[in-house]
Amino acid sequence: MLSYSRDMKSPATQLRAQIDGTVHTDTQTTETYSHDASIYEISPEMVIKPAHTKDIKKIVRFVRDNKAHYPTLAITPRSAGTDMSGAAIGSSIVLDMTAHFSTLHSATTKSLHVQPGVFMRNIDPILTEKGVMLGCVPASRALCTIGGMVGNNSGGEQSLRYGNTENFVRELEVVLADGNAYTIKPLDRRALHIKMEQGDFEGELYRKLYHLIEDNYDLVRNARPHVNKNSMGYNLWSVWDRDTGVFDLTRLFTGSQGTLGVITDIKLNVVKKAKHSGLLVLYLPNIKQLGEIIKLVMEHHPATFEGFDDITFNLGIRHFSLFKAALGAKEWAKQQASLLSSVAKFKGHVPNMVLMVEFEGDTLDEVHAKINELSNKLNGFKLKKEVAGDESASSKFWQIRRASLALLRQRIKDKYASPFIDDLTVQPQYLPEFLPRLRKIIRKYKLPATIAGHFGDGNFHIIPLMDISSPEDQAKLEPTMREIVPLVLEYKGTLAGEHNDGMVRGPWLPAVFGEEMYGIFKQTKVIFDPQNIFNPYKKTDATWEYSMDHIRSNHDRNLYKVKLLK
């Protein structure tokens, strides 16, 4: 907590006099912003809703100039607060980017230009009308913002084809540690040379980062996890490419979780959206054949390949009424009847795993042909199949898949959806070996958990149900991680495909990348943030002790408490 003498104005008072936005220090506001979607809680000293980029520049300069007198002063950017790693909470200043940084500048058939506080749910219909989409949107698309997606390097259902957010970002405006705003975008060799010749703060950043990567080029390039999607560490391996001569700082800031600067403006590329889609739904009685099925499915090049386990499926069936408001009464009744019809096929035995294989095409006939071709190839397997041949028929499955975490938060009493092993990623061909070994660890520590994920990417969201405030359950966290980390590394994977590091995985960066590469990550942080004013205790300066000291307490919001399923 900040301390100051009685004759000295508090930082909050000083900032109120300097900016056009609002500064909030009341208990109700600080309590509201003390949580994100993670297992942690931290009450900030103040919440600021900046009115414009000039405000953010003034805030950064204030923190920079007063850091020596107030060592705990720091800035945590926050948009929707859906972060599952604890990166959207902080003990000093939380910047709410949704209040005023919510302008959609333009949306065309080629690009999207927005401020970071724009919600994805408001962008979706605009892009759909133009026949385009972002291919990196996470399952929380009804809740998340574009700024959060960039900060986390998010991915989602379409990442199988398009990868994470880093592949879509083409230009950013960022307020850096000197309190000035800069435009960053890909540079060719000539433009890079001009930047490095500058005798200012920006030039120094480019020089230092270029030499850091160039001097450790092979180490940096080889450090990238061998998976389709990764959001751990800093994306240094994608910044400088000797072969193409492209130096792209947007790759570094995408996934940096506000630890290097404050993003104030975003330009992204968009891709064409298919006119039609349909699902082949596969119900597996067990996962013994999963490896063969994944291999066969991937040979047919699906647009998406998702799935969830029996616990998630049961939650969706029992609480499908939660989707009524979103679907509308008439559509909800239709979808509910269709879902119950699907369940009736099992005669009381819910499948061990539900796989959703989506195909796209310009016509429904094209979609159905792709579905039928794969379906016929799967006839030799002992599994039930169902065709949801258009978007309407598919929606019931997507509702369950996308709402799995929300269902857990609303329907489990005295247990919390506790995301700390929620984003493991390995190559899909390893799943038949990897999943049973992973489940053995989960059972060992008595962690009832749901499993849902992106099977085509080998990316799984495993959400244990825990009383996270209980010392007994807290004691399970570290030993569980100590067994899971080497297992993931054995299969050349990553702990985070799309949810990033924050407080939950930041302490494990040395174990995943090795001390030498971890040291390069830390040097990157120092280059951009020498006073550590941007989102401390996340990513490279996260510690297990600090994270454990801020585990959520049991008097949490009703958002997380729910009724036990019988």
Spatial distance between the Cα atoms of 237 and 232, rounded to a whole number of angstroms? 12
Task: Give CA–CA dist 253/205, Å, rounded.
Answer: 13
For the chain, percent of residues with pLDDT exceeding 70: 86
Q: Are residues 394 and 305 in the same domain?
A: yes
- Residue 142 half-sphere exposure, CB side, CA atoms within 13 Å? 9
Task: Indicate if 345 and 465 belong to the same structural domain.
Answer: no
Q: Which domain holds residue 365?
A: 285-402
Of the given ranges (237-251, 355-369, 460-474), which has the lowest mean pLDDT?
460-474
Confidence band for 559, pLDDT divided at 50, 70 and 90: very low
Has residue 53 been placed in a domain?
A: no
Give 392's pLDDT tier (boundaries 50, 70, 90). confident
Do residues 432 and 357 share a domain?
Answer: no
pLDDT in tens, 300-338: 999 999 888 877 777 666 656 655 555 555 654 555 556
The span from the CA of 305 to the CA of 283, in Å, is: 14
Is the domain of 545 the same as that of 426? yes
Q: How far apart are CA 173 and CA 182, in angstroms?
A: 5
φ, ψ of residue 428 to 5 degrees: the values are: -55, -30
Provide the whole-model pTM. 0.89
Residue 138 lies inside a defined structural domain of this protein: no
Strand intervals (E) in 84-188? 93-96, 104-107, 111-114, 132-133, 169-175, 181-184
In a shared domain, residues 451 and 529 = yes
Residue 321: DSSP 8-state? G
State mean pLDDT over 228-245.
97
Amino acid 172: pLDDT: 98
**What CA–CA distances, in Å, run from 333 to 84, 280, 329, 336, 404?**
32, 22, 6, 5, 20
On whether residue 89 sits in a domain, the answer given is no
Q: Is residue 538 part of a domain?
A: yes
User: Does residue 69 fall inside a structural domain?
Assistant: no
If you average pLDDT over residues 241-248, what whole number do you get? 98
Which amino acid belongs to residue 187?
Answer: L
Residue 363 lies in a domain: yes
Do residues 392 and 428 share a domain? no
Domain boundary among 402, 424, 454: 402
393 and 438 share a domain?
no
Do both 438 and 517 map to the same domain?
yes
The label of the residue with tokens 């907590």 reads 1
Asked whether the predicted pLDDT for residue 347 surpasses 70, the reply is no
Top pLDDT among 4 and 33 is at 33
For the chain, what is the domain count? 2
Burial 36-55 (b: 16+ CB within 10 A, else e): bbbbbbbbbbbbbbbeebeb
Residue 395 CA to residue 424 CA, distance in Å, equals 26
Calculate mean pLDDT across residues 19-26: 98
| Entry field: residues in the chain | 566
* Exposure string for 513-533, b = 16+ CB within 10 A, e = fewer: beeebbebbbbbbebbbeebb
Residue in the block written with tokens 């630890």 = 259
End-to-end CA distance of the chain: 44
Burial of residue 417 (CB within 10 Å: 0-12, 13-18, 19+) is buried
- Cα separation, 322 vs 253, in Å, equals 37
Domain identity same for 520 and 423: yes
Name the more confident of 331 and 5: 331
Q: What gap in Å lies between CA 401 and CA 395, rounded to an integer?
A: 10
- Picking from 372, 402, 432, the residue at the C-terminal end of a domain is 402
Is 466 within the bounds of a domain?
yes
Residues 525 and 500 in one domain: yes
* Strands (E) located in 229-285: 240-241, 246-247, 262-269, 271-272, 276-284
Strands (E), 310-400: 353-361, 384-388
CATH number, position 444:
3.30.70.2740
Q: Which of 367, 402, 437 is the last residue of a domain?
A: 402
Three-class secondary structure of residue 429 per DSSP: helix
Same domain, residue pair 383 and 348: yes
Tell me what the mean pLDDT of segment 344-371 comes to.
82
What pLDDT does 566 receive?
Answer: 21
- Token duo for residue 2: 């900040």
Question: Which amino acid is located at 392 in the chain?
Answer: S
Average pLDDT score over residue span 235-251: 98
497: its two tokens: 């495909």
Secondary structure class of 416 (helix, strand, coil): strand
Judge whether residue 564 has pLDDT over 60: no
Q: Which helix (H) or strand (E) holds 451?
A: strand 449-454
| 422 and 544 co-located in one domain | yes
Q: Are 496 and 232 in contact (CB under 8 A)?
A: yes
* Residue in 1, 10, 177, 178 with CA at minimum distance from that of residue 72: 1
Q: Is residue 537 part of a domain?
A: yes
